[in-house]
Amino acid sequence: MVFDIRRFDIYRKVPKDLTQPTTTGAAISLGCCFFIAFLLISEFTSFLAIDVVNELYVDDPQTGDKIPVQIVISLPKMKCEYLGMDIQDSMGRHEVGMVDNSEKIPINNEMGCLFTSRFQINKVPGNFHVSTHSARSQPENPDMTHEIKELRIGDRMLIPSVKSQSFNALEGKKTFDKHPLSSHDYIMKIVPTVYENIDGNLHYLYQYTNAYKDYIAYGHGQRVMPAIWFRYEMTPITVKYTERRKPFYHFITMVCAIIGGTFTVAGIIDSMIFSATEMYKKLTIGKLS
């Protein structure tokens, strides 16, 4: 007895002389080809795209105790000579009139100032504030109304699929409608953020939320010079964004599903149309019983 491997063929072939081509079948076949091509191109594009997934965990993502901060703020009614950056925190740090990595550019006919400062803060609750505390003399008519051009914590980077506003939430904040003698208080919750790209490189960023209030401060019966306060606190939750690409087996699975599913559905539609056509022909010649 000769073993015939063809007995295991589940794709039995039908001789061409037993099949019947139709115009409808040709139209459906062409439509299937275009539809499959469209889906395959879409799936291939999706396969090449990089997805960004996120997760939350409790941890300190970055070694070290310092976090870089950059602030750019415009004060159109306060001269540069009076302004300085002060930093305080719960570890005992207290710096008044910090000048390192700070820049003051006169604006508004030298009646105002564009103040830029880059510094580091500790990972503990504290504040930094723009004030006149370090000036040799105080202005007669202080006015701390302002516009925040930028307040960014950590590395500068744009993340796809993530709102960049959460990393620079105070950008564009204006207080020109407030009282000139008002102090301005921003309460910030800083969220550590880690971004891992497709190559495994890590970037350490910090998102933050904020709340705002303004007030005229008094102490010992006298009005206190206004200032712009940024009070911050670190959250224990870290957000991690990871770039991932779909695995190749997922792409192959989708290709098989697209081709097989399309031909199966098209075959059902073609059979229904063919059967309906044959029934109609029999009905017109009176052979439908």
- The residue assigned the tokens 């000139």 is 180
**pLDDT surpasses 90 at 147:** yes
Distance linking the first and last C-alpha atoms of the chain = 49
Tell me the pLDDT band of 1, cut-offs 50, 70 and 90: low
Residue 143 has pLDDT above 80, yes or no: yes
C-beta neighbour count of 160 within 10 angstroms: 11
**pLDDT of 49:** 78
Structure tokens at 198: 């497709």
The position carrying tokens 């459906």 is: 28
Over residues 86-135, the pLDDT tens digits come to 999 999 899 888 877 889 999 999 999 999 999 999 989 999 999 998 88
Which residue ranges make up each domain of the chain? 40-52+246-268, 59-236
**C-alpha to C-alpha distances, 14 to 21, 166, 264, nearest whole angstrom:** 13, 63, 17
- Is 79:136 a contact under the CB 8 Å cutoff? no
pLDDT, tens only, 34-83: 888 888 888 888 887 777 777 887 877 666 678 899 999 999 999 999 99
Which comes out higher in pLDDT, residue 172 or 2?
172
Report d(CA 279, CA 257) in Å as an integer. Answer: 33
pTM over 0.85: no
Evaluate whether 238 touches 57 at the Cβ level (below 8 Å).
yes
For residue 220, give Cα distances in angstroms to 133, 217, 223, 224: 17, 10, 8, 9
**Pairing assessment for the beta strands 50-58 and 237-245 based on DSSP bridges:** antiparallel
- Cβ atoms of residues 235 and 192 within 8 Å: yes
The pLDDT, as a whole number, for residue 5 is 76
User: Counting Cβ atoms within 10 Å, is residue 53 exposed (0-12), middle (13-18) or buried (19+)?
Assistant: exposed
Q: Are 183 and 217 in contact (CB under 8 A)?
A: yes
Q: Could you tell me if 188 and 232 are in contact, meaning their C-beta atoms sit under 8 angstroms apart?
A: yes
